[in-house]
A and B are shown apart, each in its own frame.
Chain A
Amino acid sequence: SYELTQPPSVSVSPGQTASISCSGDKLGDEYASWYQQKPGQSPVVVIYQHTKRPSGIPERFSGSNSGNTATLTISGTQSMDEADYYCQAWDSSTVIFGGGTKLTVL
């Protein structure tokens, strides 16, 4: 089965840049989306189709893709960005989620 692999945790200091990777065999052909989930809340999409940012999402969130690895980058990380982040792609008509990355802002 198709899998997306993320690091379990990433730490960053306030104001610095955080990068979260997502690797999967089909990411070279399929778009990746990224979701932010805070405790007790539903996930919110912050990046879709590798690089697009929905309206209302701060400009400090950006996405990129190189080969089979997608990356979510948060520039000038703020304490409010501390959350779990999930990448997501499609395998035919099935949604695939990465295992999630806990971002800690120290």
Chain B
Amino acid sequence: QVHLQESGPGLVKPSETLSLTCAVSGYSISSGHYWGWIRQPPGQGLEWIGGIYQSGSTSYNPSLKSRVTISVDTSKNQFSLHLSSVTATDAAVYYCARTVGTGHPVDYWGPGTLVTVSS
């Protein structure tokens, strides 16, 4: 069974960089699939942030592209999100997730981690 777990600070100051890591167990990232980050502001809908293939190829939501970097560490079987210059509008539950890729659903989700933006 594939298991994903997000970790990182729950509080980030405005203008700083939000950094989260997703540890994957039960499946080797090196084996394939597309690994992504999705966020959900309190009381709002889901927003795709971006994703990365095991090869390191990335794709980002155009609305966030200038501030987002997603990377993968196959040796630790984890991938990471960095979102720079955060503001209050970046406060959300952040989920890491897995999908086969285009045309396929997001089949595994982490439990999510709440990130608050405040000084």
Residue of A30, A43, A95 near B48 (CB, 8 A) is A95
Q: Which of B4-49 contact A (CB under 8 A)?
A: 34, 36, 38, 45-48
* Residues of A contacting B101 in the complex (Cβ-Cβ under 8 angstroms): 93
Cβ-based interface call for B99 (8 A): yes
Q: Could you tell me the distance in whole angstroms from the C-beta of A1 to the nearest C-beta in chain B?
A: 7
* Residues of B contacting A93 in the complex (Cβ-Cβ under 8 angstroms): 34, 51, 59, 101-102
Question: Total interface residues on B, using CB and 8 Å?
Answer: 26
Residue of A43, A95, A99 near B51 (CB, 8 A) is A95
Interface centre among A1, A31, A95 (most CB of B within 10 A): A95
* Residues of B contacting A1 in the complex (Cβ-Cβ under 8 angstroms): 62-63
Known A99-B45, A100-B45: A45·B105 in contact at CB below 8 Å: yes
Q: Which of B70-78, B83-91, B108-116 contacts A (4 or more CB under 8 A)?
A: B108-116
Which residues of A approach B to under 8 Å, CB–CB? 1, 30-31, 33, 35, 42-45, 48-49, 54, 86, 88, 90, 92-100
Given contacts A43-B46, A86-B45, A94-B48, 12 further A-B contacts (CB under 8 A): A1-B62, A1-B63, A35-B106, A42-B95, A49-B105, A88-B46, A92-B59, A93-B34, A95-B51, A96-B48, A97-B45, A99-B45
